[in-house]
Amino acid sequence: MPETIVLAYSGGLDTSVATKWLQEEKGYDVVCLMVDLGRLPDVPSARERGLSAGAKDVAVVDARDDFLRYFVFPALQAGAVYEGSYPLATALGRPLIAKLLVDKAREVGATAVAHGCTGKGNDQVRLDVGVNTLAPDLTIVGTTREHSISRDEALEYAAKHSISVRQTVASPYSTDENLWGRSVEAGVLENPWNQPPEDVYEWTKPLDQTPAKPTVVEIRFERGVPVALDGEALSPVELVTRLSNLGGEHGIGRIDMVENRLVGIKSREIYESPAAVILLEAHRVLEELTLSKQQVRFKNIVAQEYADLIYNGQWFTAHHRDLSQYVASTQRHVTGDVKMRLWHGTVMTVGRRADRSLYSEALATYNKEGDLFDQSHAQGFIKLHGLQAQVQAQRQKIGRAHV
Ligand code: ARG
């Protein structure tokens, strides 16, 4: 009896060819698994293609809600952004895909799992490490890593094995997308001096086509999780989808960066992440109101660490667990509303309020009436605050010749 392997299947040409290749070259029975993280291609045609390539089954899992609740929102609460720009959409999807591959393998009694990630990227690391952590007994086959072929060779292989290739599109780019964002690389983008052609973008309008008038959207957070738009309570999927569309209309969320991959390569990538860009900013603004100065400073350090561990495929680790406990604790009072103005590619905060805000108008006001701040305390405070500077300047003549 052949052993069974579960393949992370996208429905495209490469994983359809891989479906056949795993049977022919490796002798496996293949179960294809399509994980829906928000932007699945045409499922019926992908199913048909998988079956025509000899898959025993092509299963589809709707993981959109879990993806947002257990992967994206914790990263949002942490403020996790890789190297200052990348909201980690692709990276956040991988540990969940690893988990679902393992679940499916258990369900069908498979001894192995497979994916089509390139051997030069981060995604192979995230999937392999995820699977190895959750199920060390499973064998992992990287089909592209072991057997890399060109598109023409793939088409030839498909024709030879009667794999239906109708509706597989030839894209000049390598793309990945889910509810949190879209990643685009390769082709002309490989030269970082090249301006991205407009066909790179699918979710966001170019600035000369964005609406003349701004949209102001009110986002409600509860404990750091977005729960409503303009007063309407929404499910995570609904909320993120709406914000993504709205932001895209206004040309928000285009990111063009050169990043440091885990495997040592610098790569140029274009991202479209309208919902992420809006929500990360709104969440940060709400923390300005609700966290103390030390909390904000320290949490920024944690955010970097958190982003790195997501990027580097270390989701299923004790380190992550520890950091996430800290982050969750910081979110206890991050409840309130933020008003964001979306316009011509920019997102600007125009108002905020929080149920347990630390902002006190009575302390901040320049009006005499109702002012609770006792200005007579300022002088003594400043004297002590500046004491070291003053002594040092006198004894060591700082400010005159530096001798
Ligand atoms: N560079 C991003 C990451 O490592 C995205 C990788 C997938 N990108 C792609 N265009 N297929 O998370």
Residue pLDDT, tens place only, 310-349: 999 999 999 999 999 999 999 999 999 999 999 999 999 9
User: Which residues does residue 254 pair with via DSSP β-bridges, in sequence order?
Assistant: 272
Among the listed residues 47, 49, 64, 94, the single catalytic one is 94
Identify the residue whose C-alpha is closest to ligand 1 atom 4. Answer: 122
Residue 254 alpha carbon to ligand 1 centre in Å? 15
Q: Are 82 and 91 in contact (CB under 8 A)?
A: yes
Work out the average pLDDT over 196-214: 97
Region of 275 (left: φ > 0; alpha: ψ -120 to 50; beta: rest) is alpha
pLDDT value for 390: 93
What tokens does 242 get? 């709406």
Query: Which residue among the candidates 16, 49, 64, 123 is catalytic per the annotation?
Result: 123
* 8 Å CB contact between 268 and 185: yes
- How far is the C-alpha of 263 from the C-alpha of 217, rounded, in Å? 40
Residue 242 bears catalytic tag: no
Distance CA 89, CA 76 (A): 11
Give the up-direction half-sphere exposure of residue 280: CA atoms within 13 A in the CB hemisphere. 26
φ/ψ region of 196 (left if φ > 0, alpha if ψ in -120 to 50, else beta) reads beta
Distance CA 118, CA 146 (A): 9
Give me the amino acid identity at 84: G
Do residues 220 and 227 make contact, with C-beta atoms less than 8 angstroms apart? yes
Distance (Å) from CA 185 to ligand 1 centroid: 7
Does residue 14 have an active-site annotation? yes
List the catalytic residue out of 45, 52, 174, 357.
Answer: 174
> CB under 6 Å to ligand 1: residues?
90-91, 122-123, 174-176, 183-185, 269
Q: Whose Cα sits closest to atom 11 in ligand 1?
A: 175
CA of 176 to the centre of ligand 1 (A): 7
Q: How far is the CA of 46 from the centre of ligand 1 (A)?
A: 22
Please say if the pLDDT value at position 401 is more than 70. no
DSSP state string for 89-157 = HHHHHHHHHHHHHHHHHHHHT-SEEEE---TTSSHHHHHHHHHHHH-TTSEEEEHHHHS---HHHHHHH
* Top-confidence residue, 47 or 402: 47
Clarify whether 171 is annotated catalytic. Answer: no
Ligand 1 center to 50 CA (angstroms): 24
The stretch 202-228 carries a mean pLDDT of: 98
- DSSP of 180-237, one letter per residue? TEEEEESGGGGSTTSPPPGGG-SSS--GGGS-SS-EEEEEEEETTEEEEETTEE--HH
What pLDDT, in 10s, does the model give residues 62-119? 999 999 999 999 999 999 999 999 999 999 999 999 999 999 999 999 999 999 999 9
Quick check: 245 pLDDT over 60? Answer: yes
| Other Cβ atoms closer than 10 A to 87 | 25
Q: 213: Cβ–Cβ under 8 A, 6 or more apart, which residues?
A: 343
230 included as an active-site residue: no
Say if pTM beats, i.e. exceeds, 0.85.
yes
Per the CB < 8 A criterion, the answer to whether 248 and 345 are in contact is: no
271-286 in b/e form (b: 16+ CB < 10 A) is bbbbbbbbbbbbbbbb
Determine contact, residues 1/25, Cβ cutoff 8 Å: no
Identify which of 71, 72, 117, 122 to mutate to test ligand 1's pocket (most ligand atoms within 8 A of the CB). 122
